[in-house]
Chain A
Amino acid sequence: MAEKIIYAVYEDPEQLKSAARKLITAGVKVKDVFSPFPIHGLDPIIGLKRTRLGIASFMFGITGTALASLGTWYFMIYDWPMNIGGKPNWTWYHNVPAFIPVMFEFTVFCAAHGMAITYLIRNRTLPGMPARNPDPRTTDDKFIIELRTEENHGHTAEAMTEMLRNTAVYEINERQC
C-alpha cells in the first residue's frame, strides 16, 4: 500500500488545537503543523520539546566574554602595556573596570549573532532556499495539520480522514508520498 500524507486545513488556531488534541487522544501521531503565526499552547499537545536555542545563546555569550577578557588582557596588559595618566596597565584585574563596556558589548555581540546563525541553520532558512510549506495559504490565513500514514500504522488513511471530519475542519487534502 502506498504511503499517504494527509493535510487537514483549519481556519482558526483554536479549532486546530482541539482537533490536534482529539487526534493525539485517539493515538494518531501528528507529523507537523503549519501556521501563519505561532499558536500558543500547541507545543505540549503535539509533543514538541522546548528548543535549546536559549542555552546555545548563553554558550555563545560566555564565549564572547572569555574572548573579550583574553583580548583586553593581551592587547592592554601583556603585549603593549601603557601608562595613562599615572595609572599603569600592569595587571588585568586592576584595569578591568575600564574594560567592562567592551566585554559587555562583545558578549552581547556573540550571544546575539551566534544564536541568530544557529537559528537560521536549524530552521534551514537561508538565502535562496525554496519555499517548503505544503500550501501557500499557510502564510496567509489557513492552519494545517500534517498526518503521515507511514507514522500511523495503527490507523488507515480512511479512519484518520473520518476522525478529521469530526473536527471543525475546513478542507482535507491527500497526497501520495
Chain B
Amino acid sequence: MHSESALREPLILGHRTYHDITVDLVKPIEDKAPRMWYILITIAAIIAAYGVGCILYLFSKGIGVWGLNKTVDWAWDITNFVWWVGIGHAGTLISAVLLLFRQKWRMAVNRSAEAMTIFAVIMAATFPLIHMGRIWLAYWVFPLPNQFGSLWVNFNSPLLWDVFAISTYFSVSVVFWYIGLIPDFATIRDKVVKPWQKKFYGVLSFGWTGNAKAWQRFEEVSLVLAGLSTPLVFSVHSVVSMDFATSIVPGWHTTIFPPYFVSGAVFSGFAMVQTLLLVMRKTMKLEAYVTIKHIEYMNIIIIVTGSIVGVAYITELFISWYGGVEYESYAFINRATGPYWWSYLAMMTCNVVSPQLFWIRSWRRNLIFTFFMSLVVNTGMWFERFVIIVTSLHRDYVPSSWSMFHPTWVDVGTFIGTIGIFFTLYLLFARYFPVLALNELKSILKNSGESYKNEQANTHHH
C-alpha cells in the first residue's frame, strides 16, 4: 500500500472504518426522508409543473409566444441552452479529467457532480427541442431516410455537429455514471432489509459480484471512459461555441470562442457543484467526506477558469479594435455602452471581478461566502450568454431593423421551470441514490483518512 505525505490534508475526517462509510451513505436511503426534503421537493415540483405547463402552452401556440422578433431571433432559449450545457461540464471534468490526473479528492464529489451533469444536459436539450416549434418532427435532426427523396441533414452545419455532440455527451455521461453506480447499488442491495428496497436495488445493481476480474474490468472501463470523455467534454462546448463562431454575425465571428466557452462552462459548472454540495453536505451530514479542503480545491478551479474567462473577454475586446473591422468594433462598443450596458456590467462583475476574491484563503474556505459566490458566478454566466447572443443581434446592419428583446411570461416560465425540473431530479437522486462514490471512498480510506494518516505519522516518528 502506498502511503501519502503527512502534509496533505486528510480527505476523510475523523476515525472511520469501511463499515462506517457504508452506514453513513446507506442510512439516509433506508431512513424516512427528513421533513426538509419534502418541503424542498414540493417547491421544486410546483415550479417544474409550471415549467411543463409553459412548454405545453408553447407547443399549442408556437414559438410566437416567446418574445423573439425579426432581429433578435435567438434569445433566452439559446441562452438557457448554453447555460445548462455549460453547467453540465463540471461533472465530466471532475469524474474524467481528475481521474486521469489521479486527484483523489474527486471521489467525494464525482457522483453528485455527474448526476448534476446528466440533469443539466437534459435541461439543455429541452431548449433546442422546444424551440423547433413542432417537437413531433424532432427526429428530422437525424440522418434518417425520409419521404422527401434522398434529402439528408447537412453535415457541414455546426447545428448538426451539435446534435451529435450533445447526444454523444449525454449518453456517454449516463453510461459512465451508471457503471460507477453498479457496485454501490450492490452495497445498498446487501445492506437494506425492507423487501421492496432489496428488490429495487437488486435490479439496479445488475447482479454485481465484486470478484477480482470484475474489479479489474471495472478499473479498465473507468479509465478508458475517462480517456474518451475528456476530449468529448472539450469538444461539446467547442461545438456549442461554433454554433456562433462559424456565423458571420459581428460579435459571434470569433476564433477564440471554443476555449473561451469551455473554460466558461467549467467555471459555471463548478459554481453549480458548490451550490448543490454545500446544501447536501449540511442536510445529509456529509461533513466528514466533503471537507473544507474539497470546497477549497473547487474554489481554486473557479479562480483559474474565471481568470481564463476574464482574459478571453479582454482579448475579445482588444481584437475587435485591433482587427479594424468597423462592424465588429461597433458590436463590442455597443455591448459595453449601448442599451444593454447593464447586462455587460453584470457579466464583467460576476465573472471577472468576483472570482478574484477567492485569492484570500480564509474567504475561499468560508462556506457561506462560497455559497453566495456560487450563485453570483452562475448569474454572471447566464448574463454572459445573454450578452453574447442578444447584444450581438439586437442592432442589425440597418438601423431601421434595430430592436430590443423583451421576454414574455412564457420565456421566464420556461427558464424558471427548467430550474424546477432540475432540482426535482436532483432531489430524487439525493434521496434514492448513493450520493458519494462510497466504494471508491473506501479505497482511499487507509491512506487519506484522518485517523489512519495520524497513525502513520506517529509510527514514523517513533
Using CB atoms, name the residue of chain B closest to A101. B161
Is A34's beta carbon under 8 Å from chain B? yes
Q: Which residues of A contact B213 (CB under 8 A)?
A: 32, 48, 51, 123
Given known contacts A34-B210, A131-B207, A141-B22, A102 and B225 CB-to-CB distance under 8 angstroms: no
B316 to chain A, nearest CB (A): 23
Question: Are A137 and B190 interface neighbours, CB within 8 A?
Answer: yes
Chain B residues numbered 156-199 whose CB sits less than 8 Å from any CB in chain A: 156, 158, 160-161, 164-165, 167-168, 171-172, 175-176, 179, 182-183, 186-187, 189-191
Question: 1/0 contact trace for A100-143 toward B, CB 8 Å?
Answer: 01101110110111011001101111111111110011111100
> Shortest Cβ distance from B117 into chain A, in angstroms?
15
Q: Which residue of A lies closest to B202 (CB)?
A: A131
Contact B161 A105 (CB under 8 A): yes
Contact with A along B203-219 (1 / 0, CB 8 A): 10111111111111111
Closest chain A residue to B232, Cβ basis: A108
Q: Answer yes or no: A162 CB below 8 A from chain B CBs.
A: no
Q: Does A59 contact B (CB under 8 A)?
A: no
Stretch at the interface among A1-9, A72-80, A168-176: A72-80
Supposing A105-B161, A105-B165, A109-B171 touch, asked if A131 and B208 sit within 8 A by C-beta, the answer is yes
Q: Does B221 lie within 8 Å of A116, measured CB to CB?
A: yes
B1 proximity list for chain A (CB < 8 A): 13-14
Q: From A110, which residue of chain B is reached at the shortest CB distance?
A: B168
Most chain B CB within 10 A, of A37, A51, A122, is at A37
- Chain A at the B interface: SS class: helix
CB <8 Å contact, A133 and B155:
no
- CB neighbours of B167 from chain A (8 A): 109
Query: In residues 40-88 of chain A, which contact B (Cβ within 8 Å)?
Result: 42-43, 46, 48, 50-51, 53-54, 57, 71-72, 75-76, 79-80, 82, 84
Contact in complex: A106, B215 (CB < 8 Å): no
B440 close to chain A: CB less than 8 A: yes
Known: A37-B439, A51-B216, A140-B19. A98 touches B155 (CB 8 A): yes
- Do A106 and B168 contact each other (CB < 8 Å), given the known contacts A36-B18, A120-B206, A133-B209? yes
**In-complex Cβ contact of A125 among B176, B182, B239 (8 A):** B182
Taking CB atoms, residues of chain B closer than 8 Å to A137 are 190
A35 CB within 8 Å of chain B: yes
Given the interface pairs A72-B155, A127-B206, the reply to whether A53 lies near B217 with Cβ below 8 Å is yes
- Residues of B with C-beta under 8 A to A122: 217
CA distance A46 to B161 in the complex (A): 47
* B18 contacts A123, C-beta separation under 8 Å: no
Residues of B within 8 A of A109 (CB): 164, 167-168, 171-172
Q: Does A28 contact B (CB under 8 A)?
A: no
Query: What's the tally of chain A residues with a CB closer than 8 Å to chain B?
Result: 64
Shortest distance from the beta carbon of B276 to any chain A beta carbon, whole Å: 25
Whether, in the assembled complex, A154 has its beta carbon less than 8 Å from a beta carbon of chain B, the answer is no
**Per-position binary interface string of chain A over residues 136-172, scored 1 when its CB falls under 8 Å from any chain B CB and 0 otherwise:** 1111110000000000000000000000000000000
Residues of B within 8 A of A80 (CB): 150-152
Q: How far is the CB of B225 from chain A (nearest CB, A)?
A: 6
Beta-carbon nearest neighbor of A126 in chain B: B206
**Are A140 and B225 also in contact (CB < 8 A) when A101-B235, A127-B203 are?**
no
* A57 to B222 Cα, complex, angstroms: 12
Q: How far is the CB of A56 from chain B (nearest CB, A)?
A: 9
For B216, give its contact among A12, A38, A139 (CB under 8 Å).
Answer: A38
A31 smallest CB distance to B (angstroms): 9
> Does A23 belong to the interface (CB within 8 Å)?
no
CB contacts (< 8 Å) of B205 on chain A: these are 125, 131
B168 near A131: Cβ-Cβ < 8 Å: no
Q: Do the beta carbons of A141 and B17 come within 8 Å of each other?
A: yes
Q: Mark B237-275, 1 if CB is under 8 A from A, else 0.
A: 001001000000000000000000000000000000000
B315 within 8 A of A: no
The reply to whether B187 and A139 form a contact with Cβ atoms under 8 Å apart is yes
Query: In the complex the two chains form, what is the Cα distance from A71 to B142 in whole Å?
Result: 12
Query: Known interface pairs A108-B228, A125-B207, A129-B206. Does A140 touch B22 (Cβ–Cβ under 8 Å)?
Result: yes
Q: In the complex, what's the smallest C-beta–C-beta distance from A132 to chain B, in angstroms?
A: 5
Q: Using a CB-CB cutoff of 8 Å, which residues 115-172 of chain B contact chain A?
A: 143, 150-156, 158, 160-161, 164-165, 167-168, 171-172
Q: Which 8 A-B pairs rank lowest in CB-CB distance, beginning with the nearest?
A: A129-B207, A141-B18, A136-B190, A125-B206, A38-B215, A101-B161, A75-B152, A105-B164
| 19 A/B residue pairs, CB under 8 Å, sorted by A | A32-B212, A37-B440, A42-B212, A48-B213, A48-B216, A53-B220, A80-B152, A89-B156, A101-B161, A105-B165, A105-B168, A109-B168, A112-B176, A112-B229, A123-B209, A128-B203, A133-B190, A133-B208, A139-B190
Question: Other CB < 8 Å A-B pairs besides A116-B179, A123-B208, 11 of them?
Answer: A32-B212, A36-B439, A53-B220, A71-B143, A76-B152, A101-B161, A108-B232, A115-B224, A123-B214, A133-B190, A138-B190
